[in-house]
Amino acid sequence: MLKPRNVVLVDTNVLIEAHRTGCLAAIAGAFSLHTVEAVIVETQTGFHLRRKAQTIDEKWLRDHMRHIAAVSDEQLFVFDEQHGEVGLHDGEKALVIYAETLMGKDVWYLNSPDKATVRYAVGRGWNDRLISLEAMCERIGVRPKESFAGNFTERWLGQANTDMTLALLTKG
């Protein structure tokens, strides 16, 4: 069960949505947020396509992440050789590579509103490590200033988790 101070791996979209809804500072203070360098870079690109509410100050973000992992080109190459094309964007791929390094260690969770990441996580047996932004906020009693987009909710994550699990079972 998710508890304050647990490690939560977050992707680009989670950071942008948490910032947009005004809960980023609260979850950064309550949980041990981990990410990867590629995610930080992604949060700083595409400004011309985003509203001002989706723009996060890079220094603030770096200061409030508990850990920012670097994933090497070699790790990316090995992942691609082992898994082929799994539909993950650069930041998501680096994040699941980092997640693999945490196996067997303390409790950690993965927060990503992306179906490809959920599919990969389910395939790795990480179903119980998936957590939504909505659940994180509920756990610490924080209400967003705006409603979360659908794929940041427990309902969406539960359905995606079920769909991916069933797809895996019927495929296997």
144-161 pLDDT tens trace: 999 999 999 999 999 999
The pLDDT of residue 48 is 52
DSSP 31: S
1 pLDDT band (50/70/90 cuts)? confident
Which domains are present in the chain?
7-171 (3.40.50.1010)
CB atoms within 10 A of CB 151: 19
20-75 pLDDT tens trace: 999 999 999 999 999 999 999 999 987 556 676 678 999 999 999 999 999 999 99
Strands (E), 20-165: 32-36, 67-69, 108-111
- The set of residues, in sequence order, having a beta carbon less than 8 Å from that of 58 and lying 6+ positions away, is 40, 43, 44
Task: Report the predicted TM-score, pTM, of the whole model to 2 decimal places.
Answer: 0.93
124 pLDDT band (50/70/90 cuts)? very high
Is the alpha carbon torsion for 18, 24, 26, 29 positive or negative?
A: positive
80-105 pLDDT tens trace: 999 999 999 999 999 999 999 998 77
The pLDDT of residue 46 is 72
Strand order in the sheet with 32-36: 67-69, 32-36, 7-10, 108-111
The pLDDT of residue 47 is 57
Distance CA 118, CA 71 (A): 20
Task: Decide if 126 contacts 96 (C-beta within 8 A).
Answer: no
Q: Is 149 helix (H, G, I), strand (E, B) or coil?
A: coil
Read off the pLDDT of each residue in 107-136 and give the average, rounded to a whole number: 95
